[in-house]
Amino acid sequence: MTGAGQAERARPQPVVVSWSGGKDSTLMLERLLHDEHVVVRALLTTVSTVYDRVSIHGVRRSILRAQAASLGLPLYEVALGAHSSNDDYEAAFRRGLRTLEAAYPDTRVMAFGDLFLEDVRAYREALLARLGWRGVYPLWGEDTAALARTFVRRGYVATLTCVDTQQLDGAFTGRRYDDALLDALPAAVDPCGERGEFHSCVTDGPLFAQPIAVVPGERVLRDERFQYCDLVELGPERSGSAASGA
């Protein structure tokens, strides 16, 4: 192999992370950051411009941006309306990738935190291929019960921000994602919520330079199905009080 070929092989693979702000995205990002063969360029997140929140997860945009700042990674947002069609989503996703291509000409790989849903992965693969990209799935096929406990054991802090009440009691919304919650989940519910049973927001842990202080706020049921809990950021003074137990 020539010197140029060896250098090409040794160069880390640049990757953009599909970032939801939840636990699976966090574990996936951690895996990538610890891989010497990979360099993470940026985070890409789909946001609702109507609600000013992360799509599906219902997390405030300000918290999303605080996550990116604490992680020390650039954030790119794909804007969607309140009830975007699949065509709308794909058009917005395409615009997001074109923006990334301009910022990182060497990058055509996106990482996802998907675990085992074959149809979701097949959809992503087909969409990315049409746009000249490819996907990687660092957590794919791993035992979700083990991943859930690993997340807790690693010291991450996450809160359930959305629950599909057709699959899980809405009372779980707003609860911390910890061993007690995992022990309380019904057997039919995946411990990582991979079938959409619930979604989460991570606010602290090994990857974060500083924690994001939040408290559970208003709870809202949307579409007569999805129970959301609004996470509210605390200001510096209230953050200190919360940390001291006041």
Count how many domains the chain has.
1
pLDDT score of 238 = 46
Residues 6+ apart with CB under 8 A from 186: 168
Q: Is residue 123 part of a domain?
A: yes
Q: Is residue 223 part of a domain?
A: yes
Q: Is residue 133 part of a domain?
A: yes
The pTM of the full predicted model, rounded to 2 decimals, is 0.89
pLDDT score of 1 = 46
What average pLDDT values come out for the chain (246 residues) when binned by 10 residues? 53 96 97 97 91 85 97 95 80 94 97 97 97 98 98 98 98 98 98 97 98 96 95 68 36
Q: Is residue 170 part of a domain?
A: yes
| Residue located via tokens 């619930």 | 198
pLDDT score of 125 = 97
CA 152 from chain centre, in angstroms, equals: 16
Q: Is residue 219 part of a domain?
A: yes
**CATH of residue 19:** 3.40.50.620
Q: Is residue 225 part of a domain?
A: yes
pLDDT score of 2 = 53
Q: Is residue 86 part of a domain?
A: yes
Residues 6+ apart with CB under 8 A from 109: 13, 14, 15, 16, 133, 134, 135, 136
pLDDT score of 168 = 98
Alpha carbon distance 141, 138 (integer Å): 9
Q: Which domain holds residue 54?
A: 12-241
pLDDT score of 237 = 43
